[in-house]
Chains A and B, each alone.
Chain A
Amino acid sequence: MRKFAVLVLILTLALFSAACSSDNAGSTGTSGKTKATGDKELTVAIDQNFITLDPHNAGDTVSIIGIRSMYEGLVGFDKDMQIIPALAESYDISKDGLTYTFKLRQGVKFHDGEQFNAEAVKANFDRIMDDANNLSAKRSFKFVDSMEIIGDYEVAFKLKEPFSAMINKFGMVPMISPKAIEKGTKYIEANPVGTGTFKFVEWKQGKTLEVEKYADYWGGDQTNVEKVKFSPIPENGSRVAMLKTGEADFVYPMPQQNVKQFKNSKDVTIEESPSTIVRYVSINTFMDQYKDLKVRQAMNLAVNKEAYIKVVKDGYGHVLDSTMAPETQYYAKQKAYEFDVKKAKELLKEAGYENGFKAEIWGNTSSESVKGMQFIKQQLAQIGIDVKIKSMEEGTLSDEIYTPAKPEDAKVQMWYVSWSPSSGDADGATRGLFSNEYYPPNGANTAYYNNEKVTNWIKEANATADPKEQEKIYHEIQRTVFEEAPWIFLASDVNLAAHANNLEGVYVAPDGVINISKAQLK
């Protein structure tokens, strides 16, 4: 008996001290790491697995992170998502907006030694346009009619109709070595051959992706890092632990609730950067109880956005006051839905749901989603909407949402999700989400938002080359969609990353893609 009491006491104390000691964290050193051996190795911890390394078929942020470390497109994006020259030295858009001419950079070699030239661009173009390959990059080239080789280092793309966001789409399409293309899609998926600062070493699916410095990079000696290892670590706590022990040099996303721990750390810096990621709950407007605009507006009014940011985002975020984040092109601030439970209840009453109704919210299993869904549940409970939380593994969730062929088959009621336009343009933050031509499985209009006017405006905006005109149309679209509330608008993100202090030059772009091309380890 006595022995037992002592045992319990010891165990309890051990638990206590373990929990307390982690409070004053960050004091453990990162400098004592393997770097003593002299080789400059960088470890980047991210939150999800890579799905594919085929640069023409990747849609998720993490896959794009891996791909952009090895590949480049004709143009690229800088830190603020502005277009910068990459494999093309310069480009020219014809007056009618139908012809894009690129002057290609000379002396660029792919990682396998192949020359980059007009022929290589053609090989990539043919691969994407070939329907048999069924690549997602084809969506970027939706408005492209043909490609023409003008000289060894000059190419022109002809469009079917003017498409204002086209130059951003070129930035989304990396160039693969023609030799690799010949070997087929299976080969490309597992053996990336691009022109980037780093070249492929090894990809252990579900574990790590390793790349090493490419000595013949056209841009010269940009980085002193010899080797980069990407480690997908879905568990927040483990990712933070890796940063603490120095096992990882760069961590993204950095969980908000752990930022405090590193405030006074000498070894770790937390980087906040603007983001185009928006958080929202899409509401299936096709379903009976959500058809009524008043219900959806009531739901928006019932959610306290400030509290959402405080509780779920630990203060890192901004109230979402439009359909897109302020960093996105043509953003226009709308009058946010003020938190007003009384008004929300009135609206529900007018819609005939005085006593609320039962609802269901879906989301993935990440701790942040689960936390967000709980918050929504608590908020909607104030107006009598009884929400059931269903969190599903990402693959299952994606199947459930994108499989139904018709809106009436869709079982999703509410989906707690986020969106970031990887091309950084207004089209990327609008067309796939609100055009009625983009219901699942064709696009991400999971609210089944149906407004013919908005669909037509999106087309008009793409057809005009006049930025003034486009801006006007996108403002109109944002105003209309925001008012019709196909989403519960929550917040736009602040990107949070953390890095060891001996690392410089690595950053997270607003769309959540990590750029390591100029990494410097001291």
Chain B
Amino acid sequence: MSNLQTETALNIEPIKTKSDHRFLQFWRLFRRKKPAVISFYFVLFLFIMAIIGPFVTPFDAAKPDYNSVLETPSASHWFGTDEYGRDILSRIIAGARISLSVSVSAVTLGAIVGSILGLISGFFGKWVDKLIMRICDVLFAFPELILAIGIVAILGPGLNNVIIAVAFFSVPSFARIVRGATLEVKEMLFVEAEESLGASRLRIMFKHVFPETLPTIIVYYTMNVGTAILAAASLSFLGLGAEPSSPDWGAMLSVSRDYIGTAFHLVFFPGLVIFLTVLAFNLLGDGLREMLDPKMKD
């Protein structure tokens, strides 16, 4: 196994100089994985919506219209209206920004902190490694959502605290994954060469070891965004995240759950969007893993 990895790592190394070539090659391979491609376009679409959404919504997402409450889907309101007469489609589009910004920033934060800890842990070893990994073990012992609920309970409800909570529970997984990758890379010949040339530890760590762990991080990052969206929606559903009046998907579900028996579209569409988004991120992550993870390469 370790032979194989060494081989691939060495293979990647020379191509690195021609990055455009590598990207095209990557894209050609990636295009063959249909679920991942569809997911990629969906995610891309979501990001575009998150950026331009508020300018293209058919209705003002926050403006109530008490004369058309609980309307079922129609030509003017594709997803119907909610209990205040607000257009659900507009709210979902407006909510994309909240859901994506919360999850992406939470996972980015978690990935940065986790990767640094993982690098340090893997690179220095000994007691530093033991300390960091034991702390991670402790955090692993809690189910993710319970940990997040606990943190939000301490910090108080609100989206910023949700970001911190979600970031917090992604830290140990990133730390562990990056540590594993670091351990592998550390033993490689080029690192040894670097060392003998007198490069500083910091330089080796960030300039040479870190880029090698990047594919693993990217894969895990993509999949974690899905988890984070779900976690953020769950926290909002429980009333710990977004303010109930904001178009956050989880909050929309939470507020309208009383109508599940009488006006299903209130719950159905936000639920569907959460479902599809999480699925898309997971499939995209899966596709990327098949591409980037040397162990999975055929």
Contact = CB atoms under 8 A, between A and B. Distances in A.
Interface in B257-278: 257-262, 264-265, 267-268, 271-272, 275
B262 A261 contact: yes
Nearest to B283: A4
A371 B266 CA distance: 14
A23 B245 contact: no
A16 B259 contact: no
Contacts of A15: 268, 271-272
8 contacts: A8-B279, A11-B275, A25-B261, A257-B258, A258-B262, A311-B85, A365-B239, A370-B244
B255 interface: yes
A520 interface: no
Interface residues of A, number: 36
A370 B255 contact: yes
Contacts of B239: 365, 370, 391
Nearest to A3: B35
Nearest to B156: A390
A21 to B, nearest CB: 9
A206 interface: no
Contact of B264 (A20, A257, A365, A375): A20
A23 B264 CA distance: 8
A376 to B, nearest CB: 10
Nearest to B245: A374
Interface in B151-174: none
A388 B66 contact: no
B84 interface: yes
B84 A367 contact: no
A374 B279 CA distance: 31
A391 B240 CA distance: 9
Interface of B: 34-35, 62, 64, 66, 69, 83-85, 239, 243-245, 255, 257-262, 264-265, 267-268, 271-272, 275, 279, 283
A234 to B, nearest CB: 12
Main secondary structure of the interface of A (DSSP, over half): helix
Q: Which of B66, B257, B265 has the most CB of A within 10 A?
A: B66
A11 B259 CA distance: 21
A94 interface: no
A20 B267 CA distance: 12
Nearest to B243: A389
A99 interface: no
Interface of A: 1, 4, 8, 11-12, 15-16, 19-20, 22-23, 25, 236-237, 240, 255, 257-258, 260-261, 304, 307, 310-311, 365, 367, 370-371, 373-375, 377-378, 388-389, 391
A391 B271 CA distance: 23
Contact of B257 (A4, A23, A237, A365): A237
A260 B70 CA distance: 13
A-B pairs, top 3 by smallest CB distance, nearest first, are A19-B264, A307-B66, A374-B245
A367 B251 CA distance: 12
B260 A237 contact: yes
A226 to B, nearest CB: 32
A255 B259 CA distance: 10
A237 B84 contact: no
A4 B35 contact: yes
B245 A367 contact: no
A53 to B, nearest CB: 29
Given A388-B243, A389-B244, A236 B35 contact: no
Contact of B272 (A12, A236, A367, A388): A12
A391 B268 CA distance: 25
A367 B257 contact: yes
A311 B69 contact: yes
A244 to B, nearest CB: 9
B267 A19 contact: yes
B250 to A, nearest CB: 13
A8 B275 CA distance: 10
A377 B283 CA distance: 40
B245 A378 contact: yes
B258 A236 contact: yes
B281 to A, nearest CB: 15
A240 B243 contact: no
B259 A257 contact: yes
Contacts of A377: 245
Given A4-B35, A365-B239, A388-B243, A374 B260 contact: no
Contacts of A8: 279
Given A304-B66, A311-B69, A388-B243, A371 B83 contact: yes
A307 B68 CA distance: 11
Contacts of A258: 258, 261-262
Nearest to B85: A311
